[in-house]
Amino acid sequence: MKTVLANQPAIAARPLARISQRFLKPFESSRGSSRQLISRISRQSIWLLLILSTAVFAHASPHFLTGYNLSSILLESASIGFLGIGMTFLIGSGNLDLSVGSTVALAGVLSVSLLPYGLSIALLVTLLITSLVGIFIGVLIRVSGVPSFIVTLAAMMALRGLVFALTNEQSISATDDQFTNLGSLSLGPIPAIGVLYLALTLVAHFILTDTVHGRNTIAIGSNVSVAESVGIRAGRHIIANFGMLGFLAGLSGISLAMQMGSATPVLGKDYELWTIAAVVLGGTRLTGGLATVIGTLAGVLEISVLQNGMGLLNVPPFFVYIVLGGALIAALLFNRPINYRYTHSPAANTPRL
């Protein structure tokens, strides 16, 4: 697992230094820096937690480790997982988006109601609109200078209201069977939506770690003014990240609507909270400057495993919230070395040039 650190964009300017840095990386922890060792372990703690909870549920329920159940876990991960990918970039750049749940509902409702114009048109137009919604939110944040928390809170309410108005508070049914069939499509035993999610995670991991956009995103999250002073155009990257999250929220809404063959105005309720929880559990720093898509994958899977496993054990649903809340607090405490190392010392926030 590779995590992008704040000092990488500067290194990117010098390919040689970057290569040597990458080459030396495996030896870092063996050099004996205890701080680095702690942060390495703590960044992987979510994987340990995931393995632990899988083992516990496998032991407790004979139905947990069955092909059907594992593929349902993956399928159910995908809807929050799509959002988690985009949210990782956004939180990595020091922003937050609370409107994703409403965008999911908008996407579900749009895709189903546009079906009479043809399947591909419905899907393309929906994705286009949700991407534009994301871009619009990003522009609004840059132009107004109001924190993303407030702007996206407003967007969350406005979009949810819009969805209720569009649907007249009712669920709408897909008129095209192909749409529903796509939702239950599977590649061998693995649901296609889950495969798409895993593939997108890999692509996003590559974008975050190995492209200028990814590294600049992290630099912006680490310190906007420093990033801008070295010539990074923060606005572009932030708007692009909002656009990307809008696109992914579109995918999430479409995939949910496909699974139900219909869309309801309450689709994606609380998804923003689950998504942020998954990203933070995964080890991305909530204040930006440190992000990992692979960690988010583990966070998303952990949430799904907990929900699924506790469901199989017949545990009342509110316990899932209690356990997840506890896990989140534990993750934050455990990640303290990562979360506060940079923010506490101003010198460390400056990329080494």
Residue 58: CB minimum distance to another protein, A:
13
CA–CA gap between residue 50 and residue 302 (Å, rounded): 5
Our CA dihedral for 283, 273, 100, 111, rounded to 10 degrees, sits at 110
CA–CA gap between residue 319 and residue 323 (Å, rounded): 6
DSSP string, 148-210: HHHHHHHHHHHHHHHHHHHHTTS-EE-S-HHHHHHHT-EETTEEHHHHHHHHHHHHHHHHHHH
Give the interface with another protein as residue ranges (CB under 8 A).
61, 63, 66, 68-69, 72, 75-76, 79, 168-171, 173, 180, 183-184, 256, 259-262, 264, 266-267, 269, 307-308, 311-312, 314, 317
Nearest to 78 by CA among 261, 163, 201: 201
Residue 98 or 112: which CB sits closer to another protein?
A: 112
Residue 173 or 211: which CB sits closer to another protein?
A: 173
Residue 318: CB minimum distance to another protein, A:
9
Residue 222 or 308: which CB sits closer to another protein?
A: 308
What the block records as the tokens of 290 is 């440190």
Please give the DSSP secondary-structure letter assigned to residue 286: T
CB 200, CB 71: distance < 8 Å = no
Residue 170: CB minimum distance to another protein, A:
4
Residue 169: CB minimum distance to another protein, A:
7
CA–CA gap between residue 353 and residue 44 (Å, rounded): 29
Residue 303: CB minimum distance to another protein, A:
12
Residue 184 or 345: which CB sits closer to another protein?
A: 184
Residue 30 or 170: which CB sits closer to another protein?
A: 170
Residue 69 or 287: which CB sits closer to another protein?
A: 69
The angle at the Cα of 180, spanning 174 to 182, to the nearest 5 degrees, equals 135
3-state secondary structure of 230: coil
Residue 188: CB minimum distance to another protein, A:
17
